[in-house]
Homo-oligomer: A and B are copies of this chain.
């Protein structure tokens, strides 16, 4: 806090860019756990988070994650090796636990000596112990305190608590980040990483005020130069406004999508009382690839968060981290635009 004041004084005297030169060190449970400079984790998103994005984020002081959910095992290995060649900083891999090739993926991260694994969509008990035995830090993504407690009991080093506003697959209880973070922070003793609805330094600060020790950011990094997603998808996300995404397919597996033609088909089917089986057929195979990787904006599944409404540019991942961190520091130095005064 006292350093914060020094900062604030400098800020007033010399104006804002001084911050980037001073480079005070921030440290907390999350920077310590991963050995990173800023408590900013880039989400391991399908068809988006390859080695280019992950290494750019890690090089900039955050934690880059390779999203293995859209990769064949050997493709994952290739991304890991390229990422290692592109950065000397720590990076990790996100593995959805319901993935059919899960064993092969796990073998690869262990063989390649990946130091950090984020798991999601499944039971953390199955793999956490095995990974931890190899010295790997394990973080599980949850959407409720109940799941957070399960992850802590399974031995996870931290949890990502992901709110309703997040893009892609999401929980059934629909708890938003503003309510979820205090609930999870109260329920477990391991560090909590906030996710869902965070794209600015101010939002990052607010999420950490609520009890998180770091943030996981997806949507903002989809709109990075290094994201592997199709340029047409990125441009479509850039134009998204409030209300342009919706959590859907709740009877199957809830997922937040942009309201494109495919979404409308799903909504119409649901309105007509479609069963989970019907929806599965309608979804078919490869919808996410078609939309996010091949750029088929009508027929593809377009996963993105609500916070897309606030983002107006595509930037290099390193620039995103820099902006996040400097806005975070600025907010910390002067969180509110008003003062307390003697009566």
- Give the Cβ gap from A1 to chain B, nearest Cβ, in Å: 6
Q: A145-B242, A340-B7 are in contact. Are A182 and B202 (CB under 8 A)?
A: yes
Tell me if A246 is interfacial: C-beta within 8 Å of chain B.
yes
Check A310 against B183 for contact (C-beta < 8 Å).
yes
Among A209, A310, A342, chain B packs the most CB atoms within 10 A around the CB of: A209
Tell me if A175 is interfacial: C-beta within 8 Å of chain B.
yes
A28 partner residues in chain B, CB cutoff 8 A: 336-338
- Give the Cβ gap from A230 to chain B, nearest Cβ, in Å: 24
Tell me if A176 is interfacial: C-beta within 8 Å of chain B.
yes
Q: CB within 8 A of A271: which of B183, B207, B273, B310? A: B273
Q: A206-B206, A243-B174 are in contact. Are A25 and B342 (CB under 8 A)?
A: yes
A202 partner residues in chain B, CB cutoff 8 A: 182, 209-211
Digitize A284-328: 1 where CB-to-B-CB distance is under 8 Å, 0 elsewhere: 000000000000000000000011011000000000000000000
Would you list the 8 A-B pairs with minimal beta carbon distance, nearest first? Answer: A173-B243, A273-B273, A178-B197, A24-B340, A28-B338, A206-B206, A176-B176, A25-B343
Tell me if A278 is interfacial: C-beta within 8 Å of chain B.
no
Q: CB within 8 A of A206: which of B165, B173, B210? A: B210
Determine the interface band of chain A, counting residues with CB < 8 A from chain B.
35 or more
Q: A310-B182, A342-B25 are in contact. Are A331 and B164 (CB under 8 A)?
A: no
Q: A203-B210, A206-B210, A338-B28 are in contact. Are A179 and B306 (CB under 8 A)?
A: yes
Check A341 against B172 for contact (C-beta < 8 Å).
no
A309 partner residues in chain B, CB cutoff 8 A: 175, 179, 183
A200 partner residues in chain B, CB cutoff 8 A: 182
28 sample A-B contacts, Cβ–Cβ < 8 Å, listed by A number: A2-B339, A3-B342, A4-B340, A7-B340, A25-B340, A25-B341, A26-B338, A27-B341, A28-B338, A174-B246, A174-B247, A175-B243, A175-B309, A177-B178, A178-B197, A178-B198, A178-B203, A178-B206, A178-B307, A182-B202, A183-B242, A202-B209, A205-B336, A206-B206, A206-B210, A209-B335, A272-B273, A329-B340
- Give the Cβ gap from A6 to chain B, nearest Cβ, in Å: 9
Tell me if A263 is interfacial: C-beta within 8 Å of chain B.
no
Tell me if A332 is interfacial: C-beta within 8 Å of chain B.
yes
Tell me if A144 is interfacial: C-beta within 8 Å of chain B.
yes
- Give the Cβ gap from A215 to chain B, nearest Cβ, in Å: 11
Q: CB within 8 A of A23: which of B198, B207, B339, B343? A: B343
Check A176 against B177 for contact (C-beta < 8 Å).
yes
- Give the Cβ gap from A209 to chain B, nearest Cβ, in Å: 5
Q: How far is the CA of A143 from the CA of B13 in the complex (A)?
A: 39
